[in-house]
Homo-oligomer: A and B are copies of this chain.
Amino acid sequence: MMKAKKTNGSALEKNLATLARRAREASRVLASLGTAKKNEVLRAMGSALVRHMDSILEANRKDVALAVKNGLPRAFIERLTLNETRVGEMAKSLTEVADLEDPVGGQIKAWSRPNGLSISKVRVPIGVILVIYESRPNVTSDCIGLCFKSGNAVILRGGSDAIKSNTAVFGILRRVVKSAGVPAEVINLVGTTDRRAVDKLLQMDQQINLVMPRGGEALIREVRDKSKIPVIKHYKGVCHIFVDKSADAAMARRIVLNAKVQRPGVCNAVETLLVHQDIAGSFLPGMIEALREARVEIRGCLRARRIVPRLARATEADWHAEYLDLILSVKVVNDIRRAIEHINHYGSSHSDAIITRDKESAELFLKDVDSACVYVNASTRFTDGYQFGLGAEIGISTDRLHARGPMGLEELTTYKYEIRGTGQVRE
Contacts and interface: CB of A to CB of B under 8 A. Distances in A.
Interface residues of A, number: 66
Given A32-B368, A230-B230, A401-B210, A248 B423 contact: yes
Contact of A375 (B230, B257, B377, B421): B421
A400 B217 CA distance: 25
A76 interface: no
Of the listed residues A28, A371, A379, A400, the one surrounded by the most CB atoms of chain B closer than 10 A to its CB is A400
Interface string A174-212: 000000000000000000000000000000000001100
B374 A416 contact: yes
Interface stretch (A92-100, A111-119, A287-295, A308-316): A111-119
B399 A230 contact: yes
B251 A400 contact: no
Contacts of A416: 370-374, 404-405
Contact of A401 (B126, B225, B372): B126
B417 A405 contact: yes
B228 A425 contact: no
A282 interface: no
Interface string A113-153: 10001010000101100000000000000000000000000
Interface in A357-375: 362, 366-368, 370-375
A424 B382 contact: yes
A83 interface: no
A389 interface: yes
A127 B400 contact: yes
B377 A423 contact: yes
Most buried by B among A230, A362, A404, A416: A416
A418 B352 CA distance: 10
Given A224-B228, A426-B382, A421 B376 contact: yes
A10 interface: no
A131 to B, nearest CB: 15
Interface in A43-59: none
Given A344-B28, A367-B32, A399-B230, A426 B387 contact: yes
A346 interface: no
A387 B425 CA distance: 11
B230 A376 contact: no
Contacts of A366: 418, 420
Interface in A254-270: 254-255, 257-259, 262-263
Contacts of A404: 414-417
A402 interface: yes
Interface string A241-256: 0000000100100110
A419 B354 CA distance: 11
Nearest to A340: B28
16 contacts: A28-B368, A119-B388, A124-B370, A127-B400, A209-B400, A230-B231, A254-B423, A255-B425, A371-B416, A375-B421, A377-B423, A378-B420, A378-B425, A379-B426, A382-B424, A401-B402
Interface of A: 28, 31-32, 111, 113, 117, 119, 124, 126-127, 209-210, 224-225, 228, 230-232, 248, 251, 254-255, 257-259, 262-263, 344, 362, 366-368, 370-379, 381-382, 387-389, 399-402, 404-405, 414-426
